[in-house]
Structure 1
Amino acid sequence: MSGWKRSKSAVGFCLAILMVVGLTGFEMAVAGTGGVFIDNGTIQLGVWNEGHLNVPGGPPSLQGTTAVGLRYLPTGAESTAPGCLCEGWGVGDALTNRSGYANEDSCPQTVKDLVVESFTSTPSTATSVVKVVVEGADIFRVTHAYFPSPLTPYLYQVDVTIENISGAPTEVLYRRVMDWDIEPTHFNEFVTINAYAAGDLYRTDTNGFNCSDPFTFTSYQPGPVTDAGPDDHGALFDFNFGLLGPGESKTFTTFYGAAGTTADIVAALMAVNAEIYSLGKPNNGGVPNNNQNTFAFAFKGVGAPPAFHTPKTGEVIIFEDGGRRTHFMTTYQDEYGNDHITDVELRMTKGTIGGGTLTPSTTPPDEVILHYNTDDNLITMQETYLGVTKSRGQCLPGQYKMLRGKLLNLNCLKTNVVAAENTLKVQWVVKARKAFKGTKNLYLWVKDEIGATDGYNLSGTWYSGE
């Protein structure tokens, strides 16, 4: 596979253009031949007039690449431009087998049957509008509008609209394909693709060297894959959006982005409700490096369910209520199964919590946090008393041990954990001390293995007396 990416003909042509017009003129986007560099301070993209990526003539990346595809500015790492400029898109009509595409290095032609109608840009946005014209006949108008996601600094949003401008019905095929080359270990990365077919998606593959023409295809490794590699590979997504009558259009959204860790980019994809996605990660001695810049490409509005979910908290059942000895039965759920849950909490506080954090106050309210980690099968207890937060120790469920605090004692021996199907239940057995008398708010919290959480949820109140 690696031999596919060594063709430099298109790269040389691009560099020749740079030598003639100069960098400044190039970045101002000469219609049909130029491109621009845009960024939001975290993510940088090189966008051609035709809407594909990998524009030469930028600053050197972490490993010295001067073409800009998708770049993470905090580290300078590039992800699609090293080696070959193999990234692009294509659209076709399955009823007539006519198509148009753009891809600098992976196709017989860099741009085929596309006519740029307009290209506009600012330092942070770019909008490409092209027509697909085959043998003089107009078929589609395709718009790619790039702008920073309003929900996260780690993603660029791309709104894509495909309009049927022919005089007959069309069956719309769309492809987006990229060769992941994740610095600092480009040509040797790990790739994740979360699905093979879902909604309008009918095929995925790790062969990022495929042409952008949706009527061509060579498989390397079909999706879904999780951390496939290390290898020199990428991601391909093929969609069939069905029939469009004359004048009708289809709009969906794509995302390009990166973050300093895998957890951060996954959280960003969750924030935008991504449905289909690929991740590219550096190689760390033969295993994926989840703590270094991780890159992502994703889709939304393509008829698939959200790729990520958040675990949920359930109810609190209180036994022996009204006394100082109390049993709390707490429930936590994950639709993928209880084995996806990594951490749960019962938080008892004399304050209130909004958006996952305590409301500001001069002195933090008295509170106790009981935490259980499933990986280590470990309970920890933390108290905040008179404005001072301290750990009160740790134990195993069922261990002959008492965790003692100023506000509360936890009986580890009587505390137990039960897991079944998609539910985890923890029965906490505690004894309140006099300093904690009065009414407390009870909040539950849960986190899964990818770090997803829906925050603290008020699940009841508890009164303890003298």
Structure 2
Amino acid sequence: MMANALVRCGYFALAATARRSVLLLGLLVACSYAAPAGAQAIISNGGIALGVDSLGQLNVPDGTGGVFLTPTNSGSVGLYSFALDADATSPGCLCEGFGISANGVSGFADNAAGTAGLTSVSFGSTASTATAVAELSALPGFTVTQFYHPSASPDLFIDEVALTNGTGSAVSDVRYNRTMDWDIPPTTFDEFVTLQGWPATALLNSGDDGFQSPDPLVASDIFCGGVANANFTDAGPCDHGARFTFGFGGLAAGGTKSFSIFYGASLSEAAALTALGTVGAEVYSLGQCHTGVVIGCDATVGTPSTFIFGFAGVGGTALPPPDPPVSSAVPEPSSLILMGSGLLAAVRYRRRQSSK
């Protein structure tokens, strides 16, 4: 999927020899996904905002639910940074989504690559949380619940994912895919991408083609500079993303498999890794702007911002947590008085003992 890429916008598609020119010139057509009123939300922790759609995929119109962020590079909100006033998944195409499968049947939701095989069960939200429940249409009772809320790090939102087998019978080959096209500001459509986490035991395949369908039964492609099914660092610059498929084996009737996904942004790569360590992420992708094109863009140190996409609970090695802060507190005067009194009493005691 290099040249002659097929760029989809719902059921609308364009064949293009250069995808970026299509995005800039041809895809001014609105890429929208029809959702019931109230079944979308923009949620925020004050530093990061997510636009969550009805089935649990990201990317919704700015202004959804009366929340207007007005990103400088998009009319939609997917993964938005208040520090940059810009979005990292919605420019050009609404290319972010997920898919689930069991017993060899799948369903997926992506507002650009298409939605099929899923039925919405419920959706609810508050100012900082959203919960979407969807079901495999061909396997009633097999559901995915995705609960988005602020994480232990202010730089990250967490999506707590639960795959539940309510079919009444055991199912086999349970899978989950998450795919996104990075569009890192301020060099939107031209970024460096890092992917790390191999060999996590649940990770079946990965790549940097963020324009693929998130169908977990389809193997991951590489797009430009990434490496299939392996770790890589700072691939690019190019218009690409990250795609991960996880396999969890069989699931007994009534069983649930849970894991976590993280979305966010930090002001540097070091800060991003600290955030990932805080939440115990095991697999992740980083998106950074094109070094040297805009003043301040540096993919090595990750400025002015490093965007984050990570996973935990997938059988990998967690990043180390940050070191606890070193206390620099000076004892209060009352504490010093008590300490001095204790030392004086000890001296008097020793004198009495030696005089006996």
Q: Does the alignment reach a TM-score above 0.5?
A: yes
- What pairs with 1:265-276 in structure 2 (closer than 5 Å)? 265-276=272-283
- What pairs with 1:189-228 in structure 2 (closer than 5 Å)? 189-220=191-222, 221-222=227-228, 223-228=230-235
**Separation in 2, partners of 1:209, 1:267:** 29
- What pairs with 1:253-292 in structure 2 (closer than 5 Å)? 253-285=260-292, 288=299, 290-292=302-304
Secondary structure in structure 2 of the residue aligned to 1:266: helix
Name the structure 1 match of 2:348.
none
Deviation, structure 1 residue 133:
1.5
Name the structure 1 match of 2:170.
169
Larger radius of gyration: 1
Instruction: Report if the CA contact (8 A) 1:54-1:68 is conserved.
Output: yes
**Separation in 2, partners of 1:16, 1:274:** 31
Structure 1 pair 309–2 and aligned structure 2 pair: CA distance change class (3 A): farther
**Separation in 2, partners of 1:356, 1:4:** 52
**Separation in 1, partners of 2:83, 2:238:** 25
Instruction: Report if the CA contact (8 A) 1:77-1:293 is conserved.
Output: no
The answer to whether structure 1 residue 360 and structure 2 residue 353 are counterparts is no
**Separation in 1, partners of 2:243, 2:318:** 19
Relative to the length of structure 1, the TM-score reads 0.60
- Letter aligned with residue 297 of structure 1: F
Identical-pair percentage: 37
The answer to whether structure 1 residue 122 and structure 2 residue 129 are counterparts is no
Per-residue CA distance 1:302-338 (angstroms, 9 max, x = gap): 1111134679xxxxxxxxxxxxxxxxxxxxxxxxxxx
Name the structure 2 match of 1:54.
59
Greater relative contact order structure (CA < 8 Å, 6+ sep): 2
**Separation in 2, partners of 1:5, 1:156:** 31
Q: Give the ranges of 4+ consecutive aligned residues of structure 1 lying more than 6 Å apart after TM superposition.
A: none
Deviation, structure 1 residue 360:
3.0
- What pairs with 1:310-459 in structure 2 (closer than 5 Å)? 355-361=325-331
**Separation in 2, partners of 1:81, 1:153:** 22
- Letter aligned with residue 183 of structure 1: P
The answer to whether structure 1 residue 299 and structure 2 residue 311 are counterparts is yes
The answer to whether structure 1 residue 252 and structure 2 residue 259 are counterparts is yes
**Separation in 1, partners of 2:153, 2:206:** 26
Gaps of 5+ in 2: 12-26, 64-68, 334-356
Per-residue CA distance 1:267-319 (angstroms, 9 max, x = gap): 111111111111001112275162211100111111111134679xxxxxxxx
Question: Which of 97, 107, 111 is the matching residue for 1:104?
Answer: 111
Deviation, structure 1 residue 207:
1.1
Per-residue CA distance 1:39-81 (angstroms, 9 max, x = gap): 1110010000100001123443232x01111011121121111
Secondary structure in structure 2 of the residue aligned to 1:182: coil
Secondary structure in structure 2 of the residue aligned to 1:242: coil
The answer to whether structure 1 residue 37 and structure 2 residue 46 are counterparts is no
Question: Which of 66, 83, 87 is the matching residue for 2:92?
Answer: 83
**Separation in 2, partners of 1:206, 1:186:** 16
**Separation in 2, partners of 1:249, 1:48:** 23
Name the structure 2 match of 1:71.
80
Deviation, structure 1 residue 362:
5.9
Instruction: Report if the CA contact (8 A) 1:196-1:202 is conserved.
Output: no
Secondary structure in structure 2 of the residue aligned to 1:250: strand
**Separation in 2, partners of 1:251, 1:62:** 36
Name the structure 2 match of 1:179.
181
Secondary structure in structure 1 of the residue aligned to 2:184: coil
Name the structure 1 match of 2:343.
none
Q: Going by fraction, where is helix more abundant, 1 or 2?
A: 2
Per-residue CA distance 1:195-253 (angstroms, 9 max, x = gap): 33312112111111111111123521323111111111111111111110111110111
- Letter aligned with residue 60 of structure 1: T
Q: Which 10-residue stretch deviates more, 156-165 or 300-309?
A: 300-309
Structure 1 pair 40–98 and aligned structure 2 pair: CA distance change class (3 A): same
Secondary structure in structure 2 of the residue aligned to 1:228: strand
Structure 1 pair 234–148 and aligned structure 2 pair: CA distance change class (3 A): same
Secondary structure in structure 2 of the residue aligned to 1:297: strand
Report how many aligned residue pairs link the two structures: 300
Structure 1 pair 112–282 and aligned structure 2 pair: CA distance change class (3 A): same
Secondary structure in structure 1 of the residue aligned to 2:197: coil
Relative to the length of structure 2, the TM-score reads 0.78
Per-residue CA distance 1:70-99 (angstroms, 9 max, x = gap): 011121121111111111100111xx3201
Deviation, structure 1 residue 8:
3.8
Secondary structure in structure 1 of the residue aligned to 2:61: coil
Secondary structure in structure 1 of the residue aligned to 2:134: strand
Q: Going by fraction, where is strand more abundant, 1 or 2?
A: 1
